[in-house]
Amino acid sequence: MSARPLRIGDVAARVGVTPRTIRYYEERGLLAGGDRAKGSHRMYEEADVVRLQELIRLRDLLGLSLEELVELAEAEEARAALRDRWESDPNDEERRAIVEAAIPLVERQLALVSLRRQKLDEFAAELQDKLGRLHARRDELG
């Protein structure tokens, strides 16, 4: 895994946002921009692209505000911190704790997705209804 670095424009293009959005998210604490000499270029790796993708999807598909994203991100952060310990210290009890902490987070996201789907389905049903009535009327006039 060579992990050659990506520039902010590449990351932005791949995720479908602008560099400005990435800088703003960093400013809000959603993305690590961490240790960097003032004025020097931000550098990213594949893991950052995946992470940003997820945030953007939570924003677009579920309509979460950045404040809500920060909450979720902090939970993920805690998980990531645990993951680091995972690498260094392969204690089975700790591994279990890490996995068990991760599960409810994903379940929560799934619950939000289900709720959205339900609302979309209701909307789709109403539109189908409307369309059916229109077709019926057209046929009456046919």
Of these partners, a copy of itself, DNA, none, which one is at the site of residue 7 (CB under 5 to 8 Å by kind)?
Answer: DNA
Among positions 10, 16, 18, 61, the unique one binding a copy of itself when judged by CB under 8 A: 61
30 token code pair: 């959603």
Look-up of token digits 């990213």: 44
Return the structure tokens found at 104. 């409810």
Q: Which is nearer to DNA, 34 or 90 (CB)?
A: 34
Q: What is the CA radius of gyration of the chain?
A: 22
What is the per-residue burial (b if ≥16 Cβ within 10 Å, else e) of 6-44?
Answer: bebeebbeebebeeebbeebbeeebbeeeeeeeeeebeb
Residues contacting residue 16 through CB under 8 Å, at least 6 positions apart: 56
Q: Does 24 bind DNA (CB under 7 A)?
A: yes
The encoded tokens of residue 49 equal 């692209």
Q: Which of residues 109-138 bind a copy of itself (CB under 8 A)?
A: 109-110, 113-114, 116-117, 119-121, 123-124, 127-128, 130-131, 134-135, 137-138
Cα–Cα nearest to 82, from 108, 102, 103, 55: 102
Applying CB under 8 A, among 10, 45, 46, 107 the residue interacting with a copy of itself is 107
- The one segment of 62-70, 74-82, 97-105, 106-114 that binds DNA by CB under 7 A: 62-70
Residues in contact with a copy of itself by the rule CB under 8 A:
57, 60-61, 63, 92, 95-96, 99-100, 102-103, 106-107, 109-110, 113-114, 116-117, 119-121, 123-124, 127-128, 130-131, 134-135, 137-138, 141-142
Residues in contact with DNA by the rule CB under 7 A:
7-10, 17-21, 23-25, 28, 38-42, 59, 65-67
